[in-house]
Amino acid sequence: MSKYEQDVRNAVSLRGSVGVSELAKLLNVSDQTIRRIVKPMVDRGEVEKIHGAIVSTQNLTDPPFLARMNRNKQAKIAIANKVAQMIKPGDSVAIDTGSTSAFVAQALRQHHDLTVVTNSTFIASTLAMVPGNRIFMAGSELRNHDGAAFDRAAYETIASHHTDWALLSASSAHPERGFLVQEQCEADMCAALMQIANRHVWAVDASKFTDNHMQISLPKLIQGSILTTDRQPHPKYTKLLAGMSVELAADQVH
Domain locations in the chain as residue ranges: 2-57, 65-248
The whole-number pLDDT of residue 146 equals 84
Output the CA torsion sign for 34, 39, 41, 45: positive
Q: Which residues contact 24 (CB under 8 A, 6 or more apart)?
A: 30, 31, 33, 34
The whole-number pLDDT of residue 76 equals 93
The whole-number pLDDT of residue 21 equals 87
Buried b (16+ CB within 10 A) or exposed e, 30-64: eeeebeebbeebeeeebbbebbebbbbbbeeebee
More confidently predicted of 154 and 72: 154
pLDDT in tens, 163-188: 999 999 999 999 999 999 988 999 99
The whole-number pLDDT of residue 252 equals 43
Q: Please state which of the four CATH numbers 3.40.50.720, 1.20.120.10, 1.10.10.10, 2.40.30.10 is assigned to the domain occupying 2-57.
A: 1.10.10.10
Q: Which residues pair with 200 in a beta bridge?
A: 166
The whole-number pLDDT of residue 238 equals 96
pLDDT average, residue stretch 94-113 = 94
130 alpha carbon, distance to own chain's centre:
16
Label the pairing between strands 197-203 and 178-181.
Answer: unpaired
Length of the chain measured in residues: 254
pLDDT average, residue stretch 65-75 = 78
Indicate whether 109 pLDDT > 50.
yes
Which fold does the domain 65-248 belong to in CATH?
Rossmann fold (3.40.50)
Q: Which residues pair with 226 in a beta bridge?
A: 201, 245
Q: How confident is the model at residue 67 (pLDDT cuts 50, 70, 90)?
A: low
Contact predicate 173/207, CB 8 Å: no
For 24, phi then psi, to 5°, come to -60, -45
Indicate whether 211 pLDDT > 90.
no
The interaxial angle of helices 2-15 and 20-27, nearest 10 deg, is 130
